[in-house]
Amino acid sequence: MKDREYYHILTKKLKYPAGNFINGSYMSAQSGETLATINPATNKVLTTIAASNEFDVNAAVANAREVFNSGVWSELHPSKRKSILLHFSHLIRENLEELAVLESLDSGKPIADCLNVDVPETANCIAWHGEAQDKLYDQISPSGNDALGMIVREPIGVVGAVLPWNFPLLMTAWKLGPALATGNSVVVKPSEMTSLSTLRLAELALEAGIPPGVFNVVTGTGAAVGSALGLHHDVDAISFTGSTATGRRFLEYSAQSNMKRVVLETGGKSPCVVFEDADLDRVAEHLACSFLGNMGQTCTANTRLIVHNSCKEALLSRLKVECDKWKIGDPLDPQTRLGPLVSKEHLSKVTSLIQKGRDEGAEVIFGGDLAVDTGYFLSPIIFDNVNSNMTVSREEIFGPVLSVLSFDTEEQAISLANDTEYGLAASLFTNDLTRTHRLSRKIQAGTVSVNCYSEGDISTPFGGYKLSGFGGKDNGVDAHDQYSEKKTIWIDLSS
């Protein structure tokens, strides 16, 4: 069994990426400026990344456009694109430990999650889209014998992908897989807090045979790099994952520039609705995974428990036992399930929302301690006696914080579940089949998981209702729509 020491030794062998990755090689920001990237477990600087600006974005987009127009990737035979993407996926698996350690150091994620989920799912996503794209057919319209209406898909062109810090590799893959599979060139802007694994991914893509310039990475702040991509007149589409507030800006950027297509995957405040007939041990296990996984920094996390009054106390006592199993500590220890939050600023945002919960009268029934180490650690906290007007019930906290609300009737349960401006995901626990069908339709969320906490898998479309999303879906073949134009070719056959 590989232990903490093993992964610490691996950190010493890491070679950190150096600069933006444009046209197949690393280069510094044109200004020469850099930004420190911090290990949230130790509060120490890991390395620096390029602090880019619009000039670097212009260079990356111009290169991506030139390569797109050359056809070297956009017009490559689908079977060839497939084999390159499968090789890329294979290289990701071959470099599992290096990528996992990089991800863990940079984001604070437990190494076990990186090894078992983030990196393998990244490889799986690239392979899935690589496999899918040479099995999708175009269409012929039912236009009779006098005309032939062909509906063909074309790559959209240059895609900007703007990404968050909570799943750095996996969110990159969710955009990159379908965008590359459909023949586009992509400029990725990772979060300034977690750029390292994405840069390494770009190197592996090149090694796999993806031509230089097809996958460029520009690092830096949202204000400098994200906005320059959003406002760029030669970027055809933006696929964004991040907060709702930033997502709104991308709609404005699009309106102010070239009306580029914008797809947004944004925030959440997901309910977990539990009926009295549910298997409470199972609920406790899944709910703990949902609100504690990735230290609560997951967009779909069930952060509002909505439980039938008759089983509330029984569930909460099981849930506390479950939460006790989540060991906090060094992310590089394979036994650790809870690492630090991503940054000092984020920790202070989460703790101030927790304080607001206390001030507004919610009752802490589990946890409540603050930092437990030198980094940005926070132990889990459960608030009881929450009502839906309280801040902890309305705002996305993005930390290991659960709010408990309760109900007596099915109508109350649905009304509480939908009483949010978000609509990303929901869990429903009941063993009543007809209730399952009835309620899963009534809950306003992009994914409703029944008797589990789940986001579905790579084959199912993922995206939010209400303020949780806009314009399209990630995952499944639906994701290909984000990155393709549909063209009608109409051929007159009448003469």
Tokens of 304: 């509002």
In the DSSP assignment, the letter for residue 474 is B
Largest pairwise CA distance in the chain? 81
Q: Does 223 bind ligand NAD (CB under 6 A)?
A: yes
> What is the β-pairing status of strands 215-217 and 237-241?
unpaired
- Binding part of the chain for ligand NAD, among 66-74, 84-92, 93-101, 215-223 by CB under 6 A, reads 215-223
Tokens of 20: 């933006």
Q: Does 166 bind ligand NAD (CB under 6 A)?
A: yes
Q: Does 222 bind ligand NAD (CB under 6 A)?
A: yes
Separation of alpha carbons 13 and 188, rounded Å: 26
Binding mask 426-465 for ligand NAD (x = CB under 6 A): --------------------------------------x-
Q: Does 265 bind ligand NAD (CB under 6 A)?
A: yes
Residue 172 CB, nearest distance to ligand NAD (Å)?
A: 11
Name which of 95 and 198 has its Cβ closer to ligand NAD.
198
Q: Does 84 bind ligand NAD (CB under 6 A)?
A: no
Indicate which single residue of 266, 270, 475, 484 sits in contact with ligand NAD (rule: CB under 6 A).
266
Query: 86, exposed or middle or buried, with CB in 10 Å at 0-12, 13-18, 19+?
Result: middle
Q: Does 285 bind ligand NAD (CB under 6 A)?
A: no
Separation of alpha carbons 271 and 304, rounded Å: 5
Pick out residues in 384-403 that bind ligand NAD (CB under 6 A).
396, 398
DSSP output for 436-457: HHHHHHHS-SSEEEESS-----
Residue 190 CB, nearest distance to ligand NAD (Å)?
A: 6
Pick out residues in 335-374 that bind ligand NAD (CB under 6 A).
none
Three-state DSSP class for 464? Answer: coil
Binding mask 37-76 for ligand NAD (x = CB under 6 A): ----------------------------------------
Q: Considering CB under 6 A, how many residues would be counted as binding ligand NAD?
A: 30
Residue 223 CB, nearest distance to ligand NAD (Å)?
A: 5
DSSP output for 109-163: --HHHIIIIIHHHHHHHHHHHHHHGGG---EE----TTEEEEEEEEE-SEEEEE-
Residue 91 CB, nearest distance to ligand NAD (Å)?
A: 25
Name which of 178 and 334 has its Cβ closer to ligand NAD.
178
Indicate which single residue of 40, 108, 226, 400 sits in contact with ligand NAD (rule: CB under 6 A).
226
Name which of 47 and 239 has its Cβ closer to ligand NAD.
239
Is 98 designated active site? no
Residue 306 CB, nearest distance to ligand NAD (Å)?
A: 19
Indicate which single residue of 108, 110, 178, 230 sits in contact with ligand NAD (rule: CB under 6 A).
230
Q: Does 268 bind ligand NAD (CB under 6 A)?
A: yes
**Number of helices (H), then strands (E), in the chain:** 17, 22
Chain centre to alpha carbon of residue 362: 30
Q: Which residues contact 6 (CB under 8 A, 6 or more apart)?
A: none
Q: Does 163 bind ligand NAD (CB under 6 A)?
A: yes
CB atoms inside a 10 Å sphere around CB 452: 14
Q: Does 242 bind ligand NAD (CB under 6 A)?
A: yes
Separation of alpha carbons 304 and 238, rounded Å: 31
Name which of 296 and 329 has its Cβ closer to ligand NAD.
296
- Binding part of the chain for ligand NAD, among 126-134, 163-171, 366-374, 399-407 by CB under 6 A, reads 163-171
DSSP output for 185-231: EEEEE--TTS-HHHHHHHHHHHHHTPPTTSEEE--S-IIIIIHHHHH
In the DSSP assignment, the letter for residue 264 is E
- Binding part of the chain for ligand NAD, among 54-62, 98-106, 141-149, 186-194 by CB under 6 A, reads 186-194
In the DSSP assignment, the letter for residue 7 is H
Name which of 129 and 153 has its Cβ closer to ligand NAD.
129
For the CA atoms of 202, 203, 209, 211, the dihedral, rounded to the nearest 10 degrees, stands at: 60
Which amino acids are annotated catalytic?
265
* Residues contributing to the site for ligand NAD (CB under 6 A): 162-166, 171, 189, 191-192, 221-223, 226-227, 230, 241-243, 246, 249, 265-268, 299, 396, 398, 424, 464, 468
